[in-house]
Amino acid sequence: MFGDFFSRALIAGVGLAAVTGPLGCFVVWRRMAYFGDTMAHSALLGVALSILLSVNMTLGVFAVAAMVAGALLLLQRQNTLSTDALLGILSHSSLAVGLVIVGFLTQVRIDLMGFLFGDILAVSVEDIAVIYGGGVAILAILWLNWRPLLAATVSPELAEAEGLKPEVSRIILMLLMASVIAIAMKLVGVLLITSLLIIPAATARRLSATPEMMAGVAAVLGAVSVVGGLFGSRTWDTASGPSIVVMALAIFLVSLAVPTARLFGRRA
């Protein structure tokens, strides 16, 4: 029989995968992997500020991630640096500032490795409630905005011509990513969140013929990665978060032997 902590980890991980799968599809389609890393790195700054200001950590991480996304949008409009350069600056700066603030918090004992790599086995019933409550809200917003998000992904110019406001869709997507990072941080850590967003979605892209199918397959593959990674971690006594990502990688490698489907009218 499984312990309560292992059952809670399975429930929480599957719930998180149901959200990261569909959202990760847009990360893959829009080639936003580096942006995902930037948002994830900003999570540590959110943790540090939450402790310093004594505010709820999930809300603190979301607020900082959202501010970093807003800063990127403002800097992009200045047209002084390329997007990848701006992402590099924001990513490493937010991570470094977060580490410096943590260094000053000598009166508080902080499990830095836990924040970096997560500890899904320590998830509580309250954490599960946050994951499923936040996950339902994120998926609902994603579903309501699916058409404008998809149209802006395929062709921003065409979406704008149809009155779908691609810039608004982009802001919504960034806020959804900030939300996922805030609720996922405790499970897989700031350094592994992007992997859970990208790898199942990248695998699903090879196996799907439509965007909707890809979103569903990505969610299922993410759940399989969580379950397989946790059982592997339990069997071989390895770290749970990295084990989940390794399982996702193994599924991706196996998928390379499968002929790709067609997505958006071209090879996926």
> CATH number of the domain at 4-267, out of 1.10.3470.10, 3.30.750.24, 3.40.190.10, 1.20.1640.10?
1.10.3470.10
Secondary structure (H, E, C), 213-243:
HHHHHHHHHHHHHHHHHHHHHHHHCCCHHHH
More confident residue, 257 or 214: 214
How far is the C-alpha of 182 from the C-alpha of 171, rounded, in Å?
17
Domain ranges for the chain, please list them.
4-267
- Measured CA distances, 109 to 59, 93, 158 (Å): 20, 23, 52
Q: What is the pLDDT of residues 80-108, one digit of tens each?
A: 888 889 999 999 999 899 989 988 887 77
CA 201 to chain CA centroid, nearest Å: 11
Question: What does the mean pLDDT of the chain come to?
Answer: 89
- Measured CA distances, 2 to 7, 49, 56, 230, 231 (Å): 7, 36, 31, 12, 10
Name the band, by pLDDT with cuts 50, 70 and 90, for residue 2.
low
Q: Maximum Cα–Cα distance for the chain, whole Å?
A: 59
Cβ–Cβ under 8 Å, residues 65 and 36: no
Number of helices (H), then strands (E), belonging to the chain: the values are 12, 2
φ, ψ (nearest 5 deg) of residue 35: -65, -40
Note the pLDDT of residue 267: 46
pLDDT at 147 over 50: yes
Cβ–Cβ under 8 Å, residues 180 and 20: yes
pLDDT at 265 over 70: no
- Measured CA distances, 244 to 179, 187, 229, 239 (Å): 21, 10, 4, 9
Q: What is the pLDDT of residues 35-46, one digit of tens each?
A: 888 988 898 899
Note the pLDDT of residue 261: 64
Of 146-150, 181-185, 217-221, 245-249, which gets the smallest average pLDDT? 181-185
Note the pLDDT of residue 262: 55
Which of 2-11, 58-67, 108-117, 159-168 is most confident?
A: 58-67
